[in-house]
Amino acid sequence: MSNTNGEPSNILNSSLNRVFGFDSFRSGQKQTIEQLLSGHSTLSIFPTGSGKSLCYQLTALHLPHLTLVVSPLLALMKDQLEFLASKGIGAASIDSTLKGNQAQEVMAGVRNGAIKILMVSVERFKNERFRQFIQSVPVSMLVVDEAHCISEWGHNFRPDYLKLPSYRQELNIPLTLLLTATATQKVKLDMAEKFAIHEHHTVQTGFYRNNLDLTVLPVSSADKNAVLTEQLLQQSGCGIVYVTLQHSAEQVAGYLQQAGINACAYHAGFDSDRRSQIQADFMAEKIQVIVATIAFGMGIDKSNIRFVFHYDLPKSIENYSQEIGRAGRDGQSSSCITLANLDGLNTVENFVYGDTPELSAIEFVIESIKSEIQVSQYDSKWELQLLQLSNASNIKQLPLKTLLVQLELAGVIESVYAYFADFKIKLLQPIEQILAAFNEQRKEFLSVIFKATAFKKVWGSLNFDTLLQDKSIDRNRVIAALEYLQEQQLIVLETSRMTEVFKVDSVELLNPNLANDLFNYFIDKEEKEIARIAGLVQFFQLDTCLSHNLSRYFDDDKVPAKCGHCTVCRGSVAKLESSNKALWPSDENILSNGQALKAHLENKIKTPLTLESYCRFFAGMTVPLFGRNKVRQLSGFASCEQQRYQAIRDKLTRLGFNQ
């Protein structure tokens, strides 16, 4: 078989050995690469740790232009870039951690061909400076890592991922590679359809891993630390203990340290330097046990993780499979142990309920669009700054993004572009000296830009409103000129306050059912997520082989009926229970705390508090309204956090909070 460059497939074997040091391809890798080099976009579904990344890394070496990789996490990018650097492959990322001229150096490397692989987050496409750059360079292939994020049926749906098919069209990228480890049949079909990938070009290797021993241990909360310690002392090598909450990571790690176990906490609340150091120490085997939230593990390329414990219930079967998939990548036997009870169920469910916008909040967003719309003779436009609208509407940023995408899919708004509201310029040379380096026409154009910039001691703020009153001046040309000045180290350019611009269909905006339709979408999504959690609990209590059922969930039917290495096959079926009956505060206490919340917010909000706001207050959920008004300081906050959300709603309804 030969590819589009006329290279026989043995050249791929040669590249594999010469560049990556491997003697042979793993299952599915060669088929993926050959399909891509024959011009076929491909969806590849391999288990965690089966070498998905090599599929784009090796392909990129045989393509003429840039390979653009979209990845959901900075940690994933950094790990991949370190690996590529070790193999002498030109690769870089453009992300928020770049300082000074680093972004310009990356762009220059892409332009001159020194960089073959560029990694970005999906949010980067909203950046007008990046969009202008990426439109100016040829791109051979778009790679979407963790591609299940594009599917609303998936467990990690990211609304911005829905824009990727249109970005691909805009940039005229001929090839797409979708990579994931966790895709049910529904998610698989959804991903392929969105990128028009033919079913013949889906590559799926077996999900089943015979070296992972699956254990479910019913344990009461009071006994968890002791059982965890006892189990860890029986393990050899290093591993991960997953917990749900950040403070749990620190508490459990502290307990293990006192028991003489070399353990360390890890969560997103630590600064990036501290997280990097912990990760490096774990990789170097200076730490035996990492007690972590799910912030740890994505992209960790450590093949000899011997055990993965779940101290708390994972969020879903997909999360569970991804997390245990970090164990035993070297093929050696590894333990996956879940310390299970129903105590943490309310916490996992509350993450779901806390993300559902209220109907009144959705109505607020629609009214905001109506009141802020700018009508011209050509079209109607609406400008948005996400944080500002999140605070005003009391919708968290991620569900607000989902709401905006749903408005786009309903044809109400259409994303046109995004721009930075603030441009700041620091001169590295006097203006006269900068202008002297250019011909008369460019000198005149730059002079106009500098005249529209109000310089203080060090930094100057560019006033685009003033500048663009001259209709002959194009905003994109201004940005290109400023980027060039920065590349030449004549200025330092800083941008902030991302503003998104949408075109609005005024007819669709006036649809009287719009708010209810959107609210029903979120309620449906909420019900699916709660059902997903119930499915997880059901999975842990199955009376047939766990490995078999897990593989079948991910559409792999080439799996033994009995694995022989799970608790069910060993004759033990788990029955999960709550450790203690969660106690309610007295009705009087709840009523007085509700009154205290109402009094606290009396003059700070324009509309009465809703039943959902009270529910979230007693459940201890963080929403924008509570964050900016210091509601967490009130004594009633989280006083019912041990209860399930629906039970809190029922109790407050009975007490008259919905009247």
Residue by residue, DSSP assigns 533-574 as HHHHHHHHT-SS-HHHHHHHHTT---S-S--SSBTTTTT---
CA torsion, ordered 330, 339, 577, 548, to nearest 10 deg: 10
Hey, how many other C-beta atoms are within 10 angstroms of the C-beta on 469? 10
Burial class (CB in 10 A: 0-12, 13-18, 19+), 603: exposed
Which residues, in sequence order, are bridge partners of residue 334? Answer: 212
Comparing CA positions, the residue from 548, 539, 619, 587 lying closest to residue 207 is 548
Q: What is the pLDDT of residue 3?
A: 45
pTM (whole model) above 0.75: yes
Q: What is the pLDDT of residue 2?
A: 39
Q: Where residue 1 falls among pLDDT bands split at 50, 70, 90?
A: very low
Per-residue pLDDT at 298:
61
Percent of the chain clearing pLDDT 70 (strictly above): 97
Answer yes or no: is pLDDT of 521 > 90: yes
At 592 the pLDDT is 96
Nearest Cα to Cα of residue 246 among 175, 347, 133: 347
What is the tens place of the pLDDT at every residue in 223-254? Answer: 999 999 999 999 999 999 999 889 999 999 99
Residue 282 has pLDDT above 90, yes or no: yes
- Residue ranges in 437-513 assigned as alpha helix (H): 440-451, 464-467, 475-487, 506-509
Q: Which of 347, 348, 358 is nearest to 611 (CA)?
A: 358
Average model confidence (pLDDT) across the chain = 89
The set of residues, in sequence order, having a beta carbon less than 8 Å from that of 496 and lying 6+ positions away, is 420, 421, 422, 424
Helix (H) or strand (E) holding 241, with range, is: strand 238-242
pLDDT digits (tens, 9 = 90+) for 165-192: 988 998 999 999 999 988 888 889 999 9
6 has pLDDT over 50: no
Report, as an integer, the average pLDDT of 504-512: 93
d(CA 596, CA 601): 9
Higher pLDDT, 153 or 8: 153
Question: Average of pLDDT values for 609-627?
Answer: 91
Q: Is 237 left (phi over 0), alpha (psi -120 to 50) or beta?
A: left
Q: Point out which residues pair with 141 in neighbouring strands.
A: 67, 175
pLDDT of the residue at 72: 80
d(CA 139, CA 175): 9
436 has pLDDT over 70? yes
Q: Which residues contact 517 (CB under 8 A, 6 or more apart)?
A: 410, 511
3-state SS class at 44 = strand
| Spatial distance between the Cα atoms of 120 and 73, rounded to a whole number of angstroms | 9
- What pLDDT sits at residue 66? 96
Residue 128 binned pLDDT confidence (cut-offs 50, 70, 90): confident
Residue 457: pLDDT over 90: no
Q: Residue 262's closest CA among 233, 295, 231?
A: 233
Mean pLDDT of 100-115: 87
Answer with the residue of higher pLDDT: 81 or 223. 223
